[in-house]
Amino acid sequence: MLAEHSGTSDLIAFVVRHVSCSVCNHAYAADDVVVVRHSAESWVLAATCPGCHTERLITAFDRPPYALLPHMGMDILPPITQAEVNEWARFLAHFRGDLKALLAAI
């Protein structure tokens, strides 16, 4: 693990509580998750499944990703159009899943 940063154990605890193996759905223990990279705004963690040994990389941000838009030169975004609202309505009308699945799909 990288040098202990403030929040590292909280972040690993969050992964252990809320993320499972994408292959076999086995839960992770704290010892299965390590920080492989930490920058000023994001973390990359590697979680190794104790069941099937699949490694999964997880990116976490110190702030919501949309807060980074101004730093990406996207500080003025156009208003959402009626066509975009209609497109989302069509997508959501056929979407089956919970909020977690929705966020993973977009």
26 contacts Zn ion (rule: CB under 5 A): yes
The answer to whether 26 touches 52, Cβ cutoff 8 Å, is yes
Among 12, 15, 35, 49, contact with Zn ion (rule: CB under 5 A): 49
Q: What Cα–Cα distance (Å) separates residue 61 from each residue in 23, 27, 87, 95?
A: 24, 22, 28, 27
Among 36, 52, 101, 104, contact with Zn ion (rule: CB under 5 A): 52
The two counts, helices (H) then strands (E), for the chain are 3, 3
Among 1, 23, 74, 85, contact with Zn ion (rule: CB under 5 A): 23
24 contacts Zn ion (rule: CB under 5 A): yes
SS3 76: coil
51 contacts Zn ion (rule: CB under 5 A): yes
29 contacts Zn ion (rule: CB under 5 A): no
50 contacts Zn ion (rule: CB under 5 A): no
The answer to whether 74 touches 64, Cβ cutoff 8 Å, is no
Residues in contact with Zn ion by the rule CB under 5 A: 21, 23-24, 26, 49, 51-52, 54
